[in-house]
Amino acid sequence: MSTIPAFGLGTFRLKEQEVIDSVTNGLELGYRHIDTAQIYGNEADVGKAIAAAGVARKDLFVTTKIWTDNLGKDKLIPSLKESLDKLRTEQVDLTLIHWPSPNDAIAVATYMEALAEARAQRLTRLIGVSNFTIAHLQQAIAAVGAAEIATLQVEIHPFLQNRKVVEFARAQGIHLTAYMPLAYGKVMTDPTLIGIAKAHQANPAQIALAWSLQQGFATIPSSTKRANLESNLAAQKIVLSDADMQAITKLDKGERLANPDFAPQWD
């Protein structure tokens, strides 16, 4: 898979048997894009579930992310090798810088160059970034070139549409991946999404996912329930009207859920 599959399975907050079950069910249902990270503490269990599923490695797209402690020039590649061991693979499909270095203690160019070197060593097929502001993205582009950045993964859902960053990334030709597309389930209780869902004989989660996919984002919802994993996958078949899309656009409240104390100054 040379491009990033539009639909994937997020594993944030899933641990041990819970993540094994989620990935196992996901792969059985047809998911082929699995997203994990060093800080999730579940790479080994994700690797175990993938190995047991028996899906050919070439048919899978596996993403991991370098944690902020490992952004130093001498740490990034060894940490990625450790991730590969846990994931039981010689190469991941995509490696992202999970967050910019807190307080920019380490220059963006330092870790982007190390990430590019990891790719040159064939530890990862593609490289990208996550939770970057426009300023961080500009520095990353200056370091490795926009064409080398396979995606920018950021929080995008109906209540946080992150338009400034989205527009900037698109102007540079950088693809976007939307994480937390269901806003931790908050989409399920929104009256607008409930109304649109009824019209499409769907559920609000499927509508939120269809909205994301229709904008060309890759989207990576997570779920522990097999029924929800299956239902989320079906969102790919829903086509929203312009009126539906516009109604959802109006739900933007700048409501950010992933905002740790080390987060950058958002745009």
Active site residues: 40
Q: Concatenated DSSP letters for 111-179?
A: HHHHHHHHHHTTSEEEEEEES--HHHHHHHHHHH-GGGEEEEEEE-BTTB--HHHHHHHHHTT--EEEE
Separation CA 29–CA 58 (nearest Å): 17
Secondary element (H or E) of residue 33: strand 33-35
- Is the distance from CB of 175 to CB of 63 less than 8 angstroms? no
Maximum CA pair distance of the chain? 54
